[in-house]
């Protein structure tokens, strides 16, 4: 029993880190089939003459990130388990959603939040994140190495800056006020929930809590980036430093603060 548990954990780890031998072998085969777009993990084609066949064998686009196929993500989620890995997190939070709701009213607030979710989801998908959930006034994404690549911290920063840009913060006139937190650390990534339809992929651990608290500490138009993420994201410039006391975190957390218009050397 213990051996099976270890084997399952290793299977999860190899897939989450992108080192699984079977996945690599499959990619060498599928990449020869036409045509783009493809699953960015196994290279199975979503279009072209083989697209319908791929869907029939369970390799159609995964609903929570169509850059990947159902077999690479959905089956992983349904295969209960997980592994502790390094990854990056992004929490994008609408600032002052309660007074916004009082001012706009329920219907207008719903329309504004729907637009924000759409912007956030598009940015997360483009930068290779797995979309964890919508949480009231937040969008949350996990940048797992096997999906977002080895530069997952950089992709999280690029994603956060794109969300700020798309919500109008580069023009000093945002149509919705947003603050963002990005952190890199170790967490346990695995599936939770009952049954195939209710199972979810999520991450647990102190690093997740730090990322969420960084978003809460970010001002309007700010991307608050932990020093751990800053050190590996390849961001140039001596950006504003802060030492934060975060709720539920016993240590002081050193961070950098990024704003549109102050960023150099950050391109895809």
Count of domains for the chain: 2
Q: Are residues 12 and 123 in the same domain?
A: no
Answer yes or no: is 268 within a domain.
no
Answer yes or no: is 265 within a domain.
no
Answer yes or no: is 167 within a domain.
yes
Residue 45 is part of which domain span?
2-78
Proportion of the chain above pLDDT 90, given as a percent = 64
Q: Are residues 120 and 150 in the same domain?
A: yes
Q: Are residues 97 and 25 in the same domain?
A: no
- Which has the closest alpha carbon to 208: 125, 90, 117? 90
Least confident stretch, 82-86, 148-152, 162-166, 195-199: 195-199
According to DSSP, the residues that pair with 38 across neighbouring strands are 45
CATH number of the domain within which 134 lies: 3.30.70.1230
Residue 3 pLDDT level (bands cut at 50, 70, 90): low
Q: Are residues 199 and 172 in the same domain?
A: yes
Q: Are residues 169 and 231 in the same domain?
A: yes
Q: What is the pLDDT of residue 4?
A: 63
Answer yes or no: is 264 within a domain.
no
Residue 195 pLDDT level (bands cut at 50, 70, 90): low
Mean pLDDT of 208-212: 95
pLDDT at 214 over 80: yes
pLDDT at 199 over 70: no
pLDDT at 179 over 80: yes
Task: Compute the distance between CA of residue 208 and CA of residue 142 in angstroms, rounded to an integer.
Answer: 9
Residue 140 pLDDT level (bands cut at 50, 70, 90): very high
* Predicted model pTM: 0.90
Q: What is the pLDDT of residue 261?
A: 79
Answer yes or no: is 267 within a domain.
no
pLDDT at 133 over 80: no
Task: Compute the distance between CA of residue 89 and CA of residue 54 in angstroms, rounded to an integer.
Answer: 31
Q: Are residues 222 and 151 in the same domain?
A: yes
Q: How many CA atoms lie within 13 A of 221 on its CB side?
A: 13
Q: What is the pLDDT of residue 173?
A: 84
Q: Are residues 129 and 192 in the same domain?
A: yes
In the listed set 55, 78, 101, which residue is the last one of a domain according to the structure?
A: 78
Mean pLDDT of 71-100: 88
């Amino acid at each position: 029993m213990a051996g099976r548990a270890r084997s399952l954990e290793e299977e999860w780890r190899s897939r989450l880190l992108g080192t699984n031998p079977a996945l690599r072998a499959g990619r060498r085969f599928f990449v020869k089939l036409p045509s783009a777009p493809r699953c960015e993990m196994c290279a199975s084609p979503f279009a072209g003459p083989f697209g319908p066949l791929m869907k029939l064998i369970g390799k159609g686009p995964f609903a929570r990130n169509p850059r990947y196929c159902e077999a690479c993500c959905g089956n992983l989620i349904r295969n209960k388990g997980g592994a502790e890995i390094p990854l990056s997190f992004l929490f994008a939070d609408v600032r002052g959603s309660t007074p916004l709701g009082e001012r706009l009213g329920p219907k207008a607030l719903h329309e504004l939040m729907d637009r924000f979710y759409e912007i956030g989801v598009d940015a997360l998908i483009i930068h290779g994140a797995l979309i964890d959930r919508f949480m009231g006034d937040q969008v949350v994404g996990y940048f797992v190495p096997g999906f977002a690549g080895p530069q997952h911290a950089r992709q999280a920063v690029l994603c956060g800056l794109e969300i700020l840009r798309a919500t109008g913060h580069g023009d000093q006139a945002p149509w919705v006020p947003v603050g963002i937190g990005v952190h890199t650390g170790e967490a346990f990534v695995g599936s939770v929930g009952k049954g195939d339809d209710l199972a979810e992929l999520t991450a647990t651990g102190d690093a997740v809590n730090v990322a969420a608290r960084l978003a809460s500490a970010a001002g309007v138009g700010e991307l608050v980036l932990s020093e751990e993420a800053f050190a590996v994201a390849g961001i140039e410039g001596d950006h504003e430093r802060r030492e934060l006391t975060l709720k539920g975190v016993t240590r002081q957390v050193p961070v950098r603060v990024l704003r549109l218009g102050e960023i150099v050397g950050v391109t895809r």
